[in-house]
Structure 1
């Protein structure tokens, strides 16, 4: 199963664009920072990931403020022409700021 759930801040957002088929699309860069326990040791985790949303969701995410935290759900695909991955956003939910560690 390819399902990702990530709490992150929107670090960058490109203007809304349209695919050749006329579907709205929005590109983002998301940043995550937290502390996790791995093998009994607390570890600082930081992550930056490219993200993409299509359709009505792209229109909604295009109005979100930079720096705000959200819980994003979706899936990962290989980035076109590179070895990296892109997080395709399927849903997002507001998150209370006190839940997150500052970046």
Structure 2
């Protein structure tokens, strides 16, 4: 199963583009920070991840504030040309 649930805030958001099929697409950079328990010890986790949203969800994401933390859901995939990972956002809870 490939499913990711991530609380993050938007660091950067690009202008809407359109796929060859005519779907709106939005490229984003997300930032996550949290404390987790690993092997019985607390650990601070911080990361940035590239993300993309396609279709109807694009306009809803554009309406989000860059400062608010949001819980995004989706899946992970390889980037074009296979360099790195991208989070495909399929939903979010505001």
Is the Cα contact below 8 Å between 1:16 and 1:62 reproduced in 2?
no
Partner of 1:66: 66
TM-score (norm 2): 0.94
1:22-48 deviation line (CA, Å, top 9, x unaligned): 110111100000111100111010010
RMSD: 1.0
User: Aligned residues, how many?
Assistant: 94
Structure 2's unaligned 5+ residue stretches are none
What is the CA distance between 1:81 and its match in structure 2? 1.8
Structure 1's unaligned 5+ residue stretches are 95-103
1:26-73 deviation line (CA, Å, top 9, x unaligned): 111000001111001110100100000001001211222212110000
Q: How does 1:27-42 map to 2 (within 5 A)?
A: 27-42=27-42
Q: How does 1:80-99 map to 2 (within 5 A)?
A: 80-94=80-94
Moved over 6 A (4+): none
